[in-house]
């Protein structure tokens, strides 16, 4: 397959599409229009004038693979369009995940994120979808940024199909955190002036009784996950590997004495019940 190298900005405006040859013989619900050279992931959306619907990132290898892929459903920050998270979601998908986001810009109640679970499970059952029989429906994680982190918590409470959470700068309340019953990573930013760790993220971690990890990114601003996504995707992938792929070695990364606790890019590490 010929690869097109597109930047995030270009992705917002490119109007041409190219469908992989192996899809030409069957109707597809989506027509993937580019493959990233860097991450080898495919995105189903054209970003221009995108105001509704779901966007899916998946490994290019899915076309030929017989395996089923675990899912991560993503929730956007307040007023943040999904293109802001393109690179982060592509990096997560490259680790062997089907990543589903939507265009909801105010999603804190978790309803739209739970709807993303419905969406991809329906695609798994649709013989005309490129995702037909490709989804590991028993392993689904939720992730989000800011209000999207809050959404991930609330979606997990609404939807028992969600198995774990990765929240970035989430403004989750203590009362919401008390309802969590799945493993949750609470990531904060030391220089975040919108969602203060001491007011939101750390109190939520303390109130959570489920297995959980807290870490504060040094020099992390509120939009750091958009500007330097790899500092988050590294641990997001390990987190999902631990709880969606049931990888015991990945779990060790988050235990006291593991890689995260020794990573000089992070501070104030804490964990419980991992």
CA separation, residue 54 to residues 47, 73, 224 (Å): 11, 10, 24
Q: Encode pLDDT of 170-185 as tens digits.
A: 999 999 999 999 999 9
CA 172 to chain centre: 17
Residue 146 phi, psi dihedral angles, 5° rounding: 60, -120
Contact 130/59 with Cβ under 8 angstroms? Answer: no
Residue 164 lies in a domain: yes
Residue 247 lies in a domain: yes
Range of the structural domain that residue 229 is part of: 8-272
> Structure pTM?
0.88
Give, as one character, the DSSP assignment of residue 25. T
Residue 248 lies in a domain: yes
> At a CB cut-off of 8 Å and minimum separation 6, what does 150 contact?
108, 110, 144, 167, 170, 171, 172, 173, 176
Residue 1 lies in a domain: no
Higher-confidence residue: 17 or 83? 83
Q: Encode pLDDT of 183-217 as tens digits.
A: 999 999 999 999 999 999 999 999 999 999 999 99
Nearest-angstrom CA–CA distance, 35 and 171: 33
Tell me the average pLDDT of the chain. 88
For the chain, what is the domain count?
1
**In the predicted structure, residue 37 carries a pLDDT above the cut 60:** no
CA separation, residue 249 to residues 139, 195, 252, 253 (Å): 18, 32, 5, 7
Residue 2 lies in a domain: no
Looking at residue 34, what is its pLDDT? 61
Nearest-angstrom CA–CA distance, 44 and 12: 13
Contact 93/41 with Cβ under 8 angstroms? Answer: yes
Say which CATH number the domain at 156 has. Answer: 3.40.50.1820
Residue 99 lies in a domain: yes
52: pLDDT confidence band, cut at 50, 70 and 90?
confident
Residue 3 lies in a domain: no
Burial string for 26-48 (b: 16+ CB within 10 Å, else e) reads: eebebebbbbbeebebbbbbbbe
Contact 226/84 with Cβ under 8 angstroms? Answer: yes
> At a CB cut-off of 8 Å and minimum separation 6, what does 170 contact?
144, 145, 146, 147, 148, 149, 150, 152, 153, 186, 195, 200, 201, 204
> At a CB cut-off of 8 Å and minimum separation 6, what does 273 contact?
210, 211, 212
H or E element at residue 57: strand 54-59
Mean pLDDT on 16-26 = 27
């Amino acid at each position: 397959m010929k690869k097109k190298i597109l930047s995030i900005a270009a992705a917002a405006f490119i109007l041409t599409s190219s469908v992989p040859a192996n899809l030409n013989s069957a109707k597809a619900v989506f027509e993937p229009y580019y493959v990233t050279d860097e991450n080898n992931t495919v995105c189903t959306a054209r970003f221009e004038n995108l105001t509704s619907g779901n966007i899916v990132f998946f490994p290019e290898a899915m076309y030929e693979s017989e395996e089923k892929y675990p899912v991560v459903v993503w929730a956007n920050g307040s007023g943040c369009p999904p293109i802001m998270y393109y690179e982060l979601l592509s990096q997560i998908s490259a680790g062997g995940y089907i990543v589903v986001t939507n265009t909801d810009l105010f999603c804190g109640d978790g309803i739209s994120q739970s709807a993303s679970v419905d969406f991809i499970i329906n695609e798994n059952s649709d013989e005309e979808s490129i995702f037909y029989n490709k989804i590991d429906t028993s392993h689904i994680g939720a992730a989000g940024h800011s209000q999207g982190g809050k959404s991930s918590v609330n979606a997990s409470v609404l939807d028992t199909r969600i198995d774990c959470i990765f929240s970035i700068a989430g403004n989750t309340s203590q009362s919401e955190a008390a309802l969590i019953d799945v493993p949750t990573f609470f990531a904060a930013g030391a220089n975040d002036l919108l969602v203060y760790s001491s007011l939101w993220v750390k109190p939520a971690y303390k109130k959570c009784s489920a297995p959980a990890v807290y870490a504060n990114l040094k020099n992390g601003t509120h939009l750091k996950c958009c500007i330097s996504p790899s500092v988050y995707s590294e641990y997001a992938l390990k987190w999902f590997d631990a709880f969606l792929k049931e990888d015991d070695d990945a779990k060790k990364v988050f235990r006291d004495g593991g890689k995260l606790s020794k990573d000089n890019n992070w501070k104030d590490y804490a964990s419980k019940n991992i």
